[in-house]
Amino acid sequence: MEEGFGEADNIKDWVNFAQFINYQGYRAMFEAQSKYRMGLLLWMSHPAWPSLVWQTYDYYFEPTAAYFGCKKANEPIHIQWNMLSDTIEVVNYNAGNITGLTAKVEIINLDGSIKWEKATSLDSPEDSTVPCFEMEYPAGLDSTHFLRLKLIKDDNIISENFYWRGLQEYNYKALLTLPKVKLESSTQVERKGDSWHLTTRLTNSSQHPVIMVRLKVVRADTGDRILPVFYSDNYVSLMPGEQQTILMELENADTRGEKPVVVVEGFNVGE
C-alpha cells in the first residue's frame, strides 16, 4: 500500500487505499484465468467475524471493492487488459456467439485528456478469448494514467472496464493530486411490496476524472447504514462528461421503518 499510495495518516485513508488493492487484485485473479477458463475458487469470500482482511463482503454484508472486481471480471462477455502480454482481449464465457463487435481503448491522463486511442472489429465465439491488439504508450503520459476499455455492439456498450496504470509499476501516488469533484446525482426511490428499488444516476460535469465512486444506502432520519443492499455496480469511475446509472435493491424489513436514501462518496468526490 505504501509503495502504491504512500503512508496513510488515518484509518479512513488506509481503507480507501485498500479498496484500490481489493478491486485490482480480485479482478486480476479472475481475468488471469480467462485464457484457459478452468475456474477459480476463493478460499474465503467473507469472514465469520468482523475483520479488515480476506473478504469480498464483510461480516455485516457490506460488499467491498473486491466483490465488484470479481463481478466485473466474470461478465458473460468481458473486455480486459492483459498486463502480461500488454494486449486488449475479449473473453466470452457464456454469452453465445456474437459477431460485429468493436473493441475500443483510450489512454487518459489525470487531467482527463485522451492521449491515445485505438479500436478494432472482431467476432467473439462462445467459450473463447480473442486478442484484439497490442497497447502503445505515447510520450507525455502522467506518472499515473487511466485505461478505459469499451466493447460495443450495435452502438451499445455491452462491456466496459477501467484500469489505473503507473509508468513505474504499481506506483499510483499521482492519484493523490486529483482535485475534489462534486458529482451530480439523482435518485428514484420506489417501494415494491416487501422491497425497495433505488436507481441513482451519476453525472460528472467537471473537467476532471472521478474515481472509485461508491454508493451506500442509509436510513433517511438516523443516517444509519442499511445492510444488506444489492448493487448493480459500485466503486465506479467517471471521466469528464460521463454518466452512469446504478441500481440498488433492499428489503423493507432492513429499513426499520425509515425511507432509504443514497449517499455518494468516492476517492476524490467532494462535498
The alpha-helical segments, DSSP class H, found in 200-255 are none
Which residues form the domain of 202?
184-266
Residue 36: per-residue pLDDT: 81
3-35 per-position pLDDT tens digit: 999 999 899 899 999 999 999 999 999 999 888
Please state the domain count of the chain: 2
Determine the Cα–Cα distance for residues 88 and 102; give it in Å rounded to an integer. Answer: 12
- The answer to whether the peptide bond before residue 131 is cis (omega within 30 degrees of 0) is no
Q: Is residue 271 a part of any domain in this protein?
A: no
Same domain, 104 and 227: no
CATH (domain of 161)? 2.60.40.10
Same domain, 28 and 155: yes
Same domain, 171 and 203: no
Determine the Cα–Cα distance for residues 165 and 86; give it in Å rounded to an integer. Answer: 12
Name the stretches of the chain with pLDDT < 70.
none
| CB 20 within 8 Å of CB 172 | yes
Q: Is residue 162 a part of any domain in this protein?
A: yes
| Residue where one domain finishes, among candidates 177, 195, 213 | 177
Same domain, 31 and 104: yes
61-86 per-position pLDDT tens digit: 999 999 999 999 999 999 999 999 99
Q: Is residue 168 a part of any domain in this protein?
A: yes
User: pTM score, two decimals?
Assistant: 0.95
Cell numbers that stand for 172 in this block: 499510483
